[in-house]
Amino acid sequence: MSDNASPLQKHRYTYQPRVPALFKSGKVTVVEHGADPEVPVDAADIKALFPNTFGKKVVRLAEGPGEGLKSDALTIGVVLSGGPAPGGHNCIAGLYDALVAANPKSKLLGFKGGPKGVIDGSVREITAEVVEPYRNTGGFDIIGSGRDKIESAEDLAKCCETLKKLGVQALVVIGGDDSNTNAAILAEHFLAQKTGVQVIGLPKTIDGDMKNEIIESSFGFDTAAKTYAHLVANVCRDAMSSRKYTHFIKLMGRAASHVALEVALQVQPNITLISEEIKVRKLTLMDVVAQIVDMVVKRSEAGRNYGVVVVPEGLLEFLTDFEALLKDLNHIHKTEEEVLQSYDTDEDRRQFVHSKLPAESSKVYSSLPDDIQHVLLRVDKHGNIPVSQLETEKLLIDLVKLRIHEQKRLGKFKGSFEPLGHFFGYEGRCLAPSNFDADYCYALGQTASYLIRAGLTGYTAFISNLAAAPEDWIAGGVPVTQMLNMELRKGKMKPVIKKALVELDAAPFKQFEANRSKWLVEDAYKFAGPIQYYGPEEVSGVITETLRLERS
Amino acid sequence: MSDNASPLQKHRYTYQPRVPALFKSGKVTVVEHGADPEVPVDAADIKALFPNTFGKKVVRLAEGPGEGLKSDALTIGVVLSGGPAPGGHNCIAGLYDALVAANPKSKLLGFKGGPKGVIDGSVREITAEVVEPYRNTGGFDIIGSGRDKIESAEDLAKCCETLKKLGVQALVVIGGDDSNTNAAILAEHFLAQKTGVQVIGLPKTIDGDMKNEIIESSFGFDTAAKTYAHLVANVCRDAMSSRKYTHFIKLMGRAASHVALEVALQVQPNITLISEEIKVRKLTLMDVVAQIVDMVVKRSEAGRNYGVVVVPEGLLEFLTDFEALLKDLNHIHKTEEEVLQSYDTDEDRRQFVHSKLPAESSKVYSSLPDDIQHVLLRVDKHGNIPVSQLETEKLLIDLVKLRIHEQKRLGKFKGSFEPLGHFFGYEGRCLAPSNFDADYCYALGQTASYLIRAGLTGYTAFISNLAAAPEDWIAGGVPVTQMLNMELRKGKMKPVIKKALVELDAAPFKQFEANRSKWLVEDAYKFAGPIQYYGPEEVSGVITETLRLERS
């Protein structure tokens, strides 16, 4: 690959990530963090499920003689899990470098294609040569990724077999909340089975929803959010240059709206919808449509027949009425799918659905554009309505258009409304990590190496004090079980890491709330620009607004 | 705006564009270029239409005492025309700086909202204070843009009136081929009317289709193409990381595929369709679909159930069969629209259309997905089928999907095919110009000032030797009439600048053609990365592959 690299790629290979000063000293000890561990809400349940790993202490790395750190040659496995996020390759590079620095005979084995690779024993050895062209690059392609979980007794057994056969002493799982939960399950299983294999997780997700008091941010969020901010800002500038279109931009974030909120703070588009607020305020689809129509009218009256609306991917499921409709429709699909699909035409199916829906949901269903009504008449192979296929931005466009035409007919709207829809998602998950993410991920990988050498298992590595310079970052590990609570998943109570949603009383949302009215009618757009790897520190080293407001 | 600027914006305000060494000396004379002017194919017609401006010489700026350059205070107008392109603000900054350097009492007036602003006399004076926060920024928002042309006798008269009232001695038109054609019409008109107002055009378009032997590239192409290359590369890396999706990416470029070709050369996706080649080779929609299906099958056999296909926006109109279908359908719409729309349902309309279409077109029409068939049953307010509303990438996805399902049914395809569609367009038109475009545009603006001071009119400013360092660039002007030919537009022969299409025997296409087979099954993706304004020269100063292959 390196023969084939772009000029920027070649230069990025040689970037030396900045890390906590401590790491450079080489004298590292693992000590108790000192922070009182939060007691999980469902402590009793969690303790019962994780008898061997529950109740551990948060740890941090401190300067010291390195007592108790293994220095013999280790064989470590690493696996990437879930959607790619910028920095994954640097986690692996940091882990590799720290391992061979401690003992040049240590080996790093990458499991290919995600957790399935651990089950199947599909391996690529990460050597110095292998890791070189992946340093500071985007993507998860060094070993690939996958969405499987290792949960069934059969998979757990196969996994033990693989690790035993390969002589793996510890496994590093790079993934989001579910994958770190899976890491806890593995750690517990390995302890129960006395296999001796340790498990360490690293916190990944561009959505930014794996964070808590100790884990300040998941990796990849910085790079992805900056990329979307850049693109949204470009569209804002286009809007105010062409003065013609109202852009509806959907951004990634099914569960949490951190990405949308970060983009709002960086770019100041006219409207940014935040799913969590919509849920708390019990807003309906028509409330949201009315809010956008109001913006279109007000801006038009101010001579601005253009604008930008940012929409989080998961919006629909947070709208009171739409959520109820989905529940009611799913009930019909579950109980009367055969009857429903026995009708010849979609028109007949719609009639049937209306006859079964409660009055409120029936009204909401009728208000939707035809193509959306069609999608809702079908389920996917898992028996669920394919909500992710609904093009939320287009749904909003259609509904706003209807209202605007109505206002026009009534003579209440004299302007023009030309909507355009966009979805920014896949283009932000695999670019080369920002300096922040490159440094952060490299330090996370190194930290995993120290936690392993300290004999720990069932921990997620963390770096804190992230709003400071990398040299001042604090590294450590938090027991995964401490982050678990019990949630209903597919009809069963399961231990999961609670997703961090946007908190309406935290600084980032407060900042947004205090200022957004100024962004509605005026053009207050800010232009983040593309991520810079070079140049002045306040440009190339800038952190997200979310992190700045939460932590500095 | 500057109070509200991002860190990168603030730093970009202070960037000092690099310009031809000559400009720094301050000693500039306008001399004949010396290159034999190409004689337009339709010279006789052009000469008849442009008796006052036809037959002028190409000029260049040379070191000299500045004889014949006006040094009195001038009032100059500037107008932005058409879609925004990165660097427009720097054209204005370069023009302003050069004007006031020659005489601090000179004034620059920006016409607001495009050519309509000249007709209406809607003006914003560009002062030092006004221009400051627009330096090296993206967008056309300093004065806005518009798509009107000044052509009718009434508009021409109003335009003369505005310019006279404001005391404007010269007008700079920043736009693409049509706008520069319009500049020629204005220049001719003003000479005929003896108003004394000069007109100078600057070559803008992200599509890169305004170029010729003398104009090496239109401005904005560099920044926009790099931005799309970055985004396409991110999707490629995502594809090879997730190993799950086949991405169909539509890129801007209605008439010419320079953007798609540049992205192909920078990123090496698996397939890039080039409209010009498709036209020359007389390929049909089904040929193109077969080509993509073949790629999907071959990659799947190699264990790669993923890939990336790049599609130029204008593709459909270049496909022999689809072009014929459009022609036939447009004929039906023109001659039997009333009958067609008198039917109650789209099904009936389709039957009617089939009864009228020639057998070949009827077959093509049937082969299209339902929603596309629907779109083709309607015309826009100008009586045309809204081709731009056809989502080409989705059409290809639907057709490839049908074929793949068929192959699956026959047991010929065992892999998986999960397509995703994207359109990258509006996000690439308004970001801060790359260093190349920032320098190029600033130099273009300065050049316009020299051409005006030399008393020239009906010229498009150019900068050549663009593959060299800016200090070695050559500046000058080419008579617009020399670039004109006669083309049929809306039923009338009109003088227009011929769009530069991708030439199949030129170096960029040759390079693509010689290598693309290697990119089909292997993952040969290259990752351009986001535009860098700082850092090593080979990163921050890199030129497009198109320019490098054509000119260095």
> Which pLDDT tens digit goes with each residue over B284-295?
999 999 999 999
Instruction: Band the pLDDT of A491: cuts 50, 70, 90.
Output: confident
Q: Could you report the per-residue pLDDT of A432-457, keeping only the tens digit for each?
A: 999 999 999 999 999 999 999 999 99
Contacts of A14 in chain B (CB under 8 A): none
Instruction: Find the range with the poorest average confidence among A432-446, A499-513, B36-50, B283-297.
Output: B36-50
Residue of B nearest to A142 (CA): B241
Residue A3 has pLDDT above 70, yes or no: no
Residue A434 at interface with chain B, using a CB cutoff of 8 Å: no
- pTM for the whole structure: 0.97
Find the residue in A nearest to B538 (Cα).
A7
Whether A225 and A429 have beta carbons less than 8 Å apart is answered as: no
Q: State pLDDT tens for residues A282-321.
A: 999 999 999 999 999 999 999 999 999 999 999 999 999 9
What per-residue confidence (pLDDT) applies to A1? 44
Over residues B310-314, mean pLDDT: 96
Asked if A139 lies within 8 A of B533 by C-beta distance, the reply is: no
- Mean pLDDT across the stretch B427-453? 98
Query: Closest by alpha carbon to A307, among A170, A417, A445?
Result: A417
B524 to chain A: which residues are within 8 Å by CB? 4
Alpha helices in A53-199 (DSSP H): 88-102, 115-120, 128-131, 153-166, 177-192
Query: Which tens digits make up the pLDDT trace of B230-241?
Result: 999 999 999 999
- Phi, psi torsion values for B460, nearest 5 degrees: -105, 125
Q: Contact A536/B11, CB-based, under 8 Å?
A: yes
For an interface test with A, which of B206, B234, B523 has the most A Cβ atoms less than 10 Å from its Cβ? Answer: B234
B382-398: per-residue pLDDT in tens?
A: 888 888 788 999 999 99
B316/A276 Cα distance (integer angstroms):
42
pLDDT digits (tens, 9 = 90+) for A385-432: 888 788 999 999 999 999 999 999 999 999 999 999 999 999 999 999
Inter-chain residue contact A11 with B535, CB threshold 8 Å: yes
The CA distance from A8 to A506, in Å, is 38
* CA-based nearest residue in chain B for residue A83: B242
Which residue reads 């007949």 in tokens?
A348
pLDDT at B39: 76
Predicted local distance difference test score (pLDDT) of residue B287 = 97
B9 touches chain A (CB under 8 A): yes
| CB-based contact, A137 to chain B, within 8 Å | yes
Distance from CA of B357 to the nearest CA of A (A): 28
| Residue in A with minimal Cα distance to B114 | A242
Cα distance from A253 to chain B (closest Cα, Å)? 17
Q: Search chain A and give the residue with CA nearest B8.
A: A539
Q: Is the pLDDT of residue A67 over 90?
A: no
At B106-164, the pLDDT tens digits run 999 999 999 999 999 999 999 999 999 999 999 999 999 999 999 999 999 999 999 99
Token output for B313: 């926006």
**pLDDT reading at A192 higher than 80:** yes
Q: Which residues of B279-312 are buried (b: 16+ CB within 10 A; e: fewer)?
A: beeebbbbebbebbbebbbebbeeebbbbbbbbb
User: Which one of A238, A428, A538 has the shortest CB-CB distance to B7?
Assistant: A538
B528 in contact with A at a CB cutoff of 8 Å? yes
> How many helical (H) and strand (E) elements, i.e. helices and strands, does chain B have?
21, 15
CB B477 within 8 A of CB B492: no
Contact (CB<8Å) A241/B432:
no
How large is the average pLDDT for residues A58-87? 94
B316 close to B390: Cβ distance less than 8 angstroms? yes
Cα–Cα distance for residue pair A244/A236, rounded to 1 Å: 11
Confidence at residue B1, expressed as pLDDT on a 0 to 100 scale: 44
- Picking from A243, A430, A524, the nearest residue to B4 by CB comes out as A524
Known catalytic residue: A370? no
Of A207, A209, A321, A328, which one is the catalytic site residue? A207
Q: Report helix, strand or coil for A86.
A: coil
SS3 content of chain A, % helix, strand, coil (to 5): 50, 15, 35
Half-sphere exposure of A551 (CA within 13 A, CB side): 21
The shortest C-alpha distance from A454 to chain B (Å) reads: 32
Who among A8, A245, A533 is closest to B528 (CB)?
A: A8
Q: Do A432 and B527 touch (CB under 8 A)?
A: yes
User: How far apart are the CA of B259 and the nearest CA of chain A, in angstroms?
Assistant: 18
Contact of B545 with B265, CB cutoff 8 Å = yes
Question: B425, B395 in Cβ contact below 8 A?
Answer: no
pLDDT above 70 (res A36): no
Q: Average pLDDT for residues B523-536, to the nearest whole number?
A: 97
Q: Contact A526/B427, CB-based, under 8 Å?
A: no
* pLDDT on residue B455: 97
Say if the Cβ atoms of A534 and B529 lie within 8 Å.
no
Q: Report the length, in residues, of chain A.
A: 552
Query: How far is the C-alpha of B26 from the C-alpha of A504, rounded, in Å?
Result: 59
Q: Which domains does chain B have, with CATH numbers?
A: 7-220+433-497 (3.40.50.450), 225-317+386-428+506-551 (3.40.50.460)
Alpha carbon of B62 to those of B23, B57, B213: distances in Å?
9, 15, 20
In 3D space, the residue among B150, B200, B206 whose CA is nearest the CA of residue B173 turns out to be: B200
Model confidence at A2: pLDDT above 60 = no
Q: Inspect the interface and report whether the beta carbons of A241 and B536 lie closer than 8 Å.
A: no
Contacts of B492 (CB under 8 A, 6+ apart): none
DSSP string, A353-387: HHHHS-HHHHHHHHHS-HHHHHHTT---TTSS--G
Interface of B with A in 109-128 (CB under 8 A): 113
Contacts by residues A379-387 (CB-CB < 8 Å, ≥ 24 positions apart):
A379/A333, A379/A337, A383/A333, A383/A334, A383/A337, A384/A330, A385/A326, A385/A329, A385/A330, A385/A333, A387/A316, A387/A317, A387/A326
**Would you say residue B2 has pLDDT above 70?**
no
Contacts of A532 in chain B (CB under 8 A): 8, 530, 532-534
A529·B240 Cβ contact <8 A: no
Smallest Cβ–Cβ distance between A526 and the set B6, B422, B540 belongs to B6
A23, two tokens: 């790491």
Contact A530 B430 (CB under 8 A): no
**Which residues, in sequence order, are CB contacts of B37 under 8 Å at separation 6+?**
B57, B58, B479, B482
Mark yes or no for CB contact B527/A247 under 8 Å.
no
Burial (CB count within 10 angstroms: exposed 0-12, middle 13-18, buried 19+), residue A505 = exposed
Q: pLDDT tens for residues B463-490?
A: 999 999 999 999 999 999 999 999 998 8
Count each helix (H run) and each strand (E run) in chain A, helices first.
21, 15
What is the bridge-based pairing of β-strands A170-175 and A271-272?
A: unpaired
Structure-block tokens of residue B66: 């500045």
Q: Kindly give, in sequence order, each residue whose CB lies less than 8 Å from that of residue B65, ignoring residues fewer than 6 positions away.
A: B27, B29
Q: Which residue has the tokens 């399935």?
A: A116
Is the pLDDT score of A465 beyond 70?
yes
Put simply, whether B431 touches A (Cβ < 8 Å) is yes
d(CA A242, CA B84): 7
Query: A230 and B527: CB-CB below 8 Å?
Result: no
Phi-psi region of A482 (alpha: psi -120 to 50; beta: other; left: phi over 0): alpha
Q: Nearest CA to B268 among B550, B549, B501, B528?
A: B528
| B147 contact A CB<8A | no
Which of B140, B233, B238 comes nearest A429 by C-beta? B238
Beta strand pairing status for B59-63 and A419-424? Answer: unpaired
Cβ B426–A8 below 8 Å, yes or no?
no
CA A393, CA A419: separation in Å to the nearest integer? 10
From B2, B23, B6, select the one nearest B442 (Cα to Cα).
B23
pLDDT at B97 over 80: yes
A239/chain B closest Cα distance in angstroms: 9
Query: Which residues in chain B have their CB less than 8 angstroms from residue A113's CB?
Result: 243
Please give the C-alpha separations between residue B118 and each of A420, B34, B149, B539, in angstroms, as whole numbers. 29, 35, 10, 40
- Which chain B residue lies closest to A1 (C-alpha atoms)? B524
pLDDT at A505 over 90: yes
Average pLDDT value for chain B: 95
Q: What is the mean pLDDT of chain A?
A: 95
Which of B12, B134, B140, B241 to mutate against chain A (most A CBs within 10 Å)? B241
Known catalytic residues of B? 207
What whole-number distance in Å separates Cα of residue B269 and Cα of residue B494? 39
Asked if B340 and B332 touch (Cβ cutoff 8 Å), the reply is yes
| Residues 56-95 (A) with a CB less than 8 A from some CB of B | 83-84
Binary contact (B431, A530; C-beta < 8 A)? yes
d(Cα A141, Cα A92) in Å, to the nearest integer? Answer: 12
Q: How far is B163 from chain A (nearest CA, A)?
A: 24
